[in-house]
Amino acid sequence: MRRAVCPGSFDPVTNGHVDVIARAAALYDELVVAVLVNPGKAGLFDVAERMALLREAVVDLPNVTVDSFEGLLVHYCRDRGIPVIVKGLRAVGDFEYELQMAQMNRELAGVETLFVPTAPQVGHLSSSLVKQIARFGGDVSSLVPKAVNDRLVAQSRERQQP
């Protein structure tokens, strides 16, 4: 069985993430989308919310599961017998950083990395930009899955209430 993991913070998941996940899911028998737990960083959504939003976003991909991890990704891979990490690339800057990570992951644990360039229509998306636009009341409905947009709109309403 060909297995891979697609890791990230997914805070929040965007249509760019979903594009990479769907394309990677077509290449592997099982794709685990793994949400990084970073205790030192407060996200917009907690890990449980991010996982729930991801599950809803990939509901039509039967070979995709959602999990979380803390610590080194290569330890997660080793403990679960996952030999490949899938990473989406938006631009050259992403490649430079991700190449170093890929080389280190191979050195540490023999885990390979597959780079998937994002589709042009979603290559500009990032969770940080989506959060910033939403925080200032901008419409992100075309940038994120419906469940994420609904949750961002609800958060905006909560902030506006005295």
Provide the residue ranges of all domains of the chain, joining segments of one domain with +: 3-123
Q: Any catalytic annotation for residue 75?
A: no
144 is in an annotated binding site: no
142 is in an annotated binding site: no
pLDDT value for 160: 64
31 is in an annotated binding site: no
Cα distances (Å, whole numbers) of residue 35 to 2, 41, 156, 161: 20, 13, 24, 31
User: What is the CB-side half-sphere exposure of residue 143 using CA atoms within 13 A?
Assistant: 17
124 is in an annotated binding site: yes
Q: Any catalytic annotation for residue 41?
A: yes
Output the six-digit token pair for 37. Answer: 């737990």
pLDDT in tens, the chain (162 residues): 899 999 999 999 999 999 999 999 999 999 999 999 987 777 889 999 999 999 999 999 999 999 999 999 999 999 999 999 999 999 888 899 999 999 999 999 999 999 999 998 998 889 999 999 998 889 999 999 999 999 998 887 776 665
138 is in an annotated binding site: no
Q: Any catalytic annotation for residue 142?
A: no
Q: Which is nearest to 16 in space by CA: 6, 4, 26?
A: 6
Q: Any catalytic annotation for residue 50?
A: no
Q: Does domain 3-123 have CATH number 3.40.50.620?
A: yes
pLDDT value for 92: 86
Which of 3, 90, 106, 131 is catalytic? The answer is 90
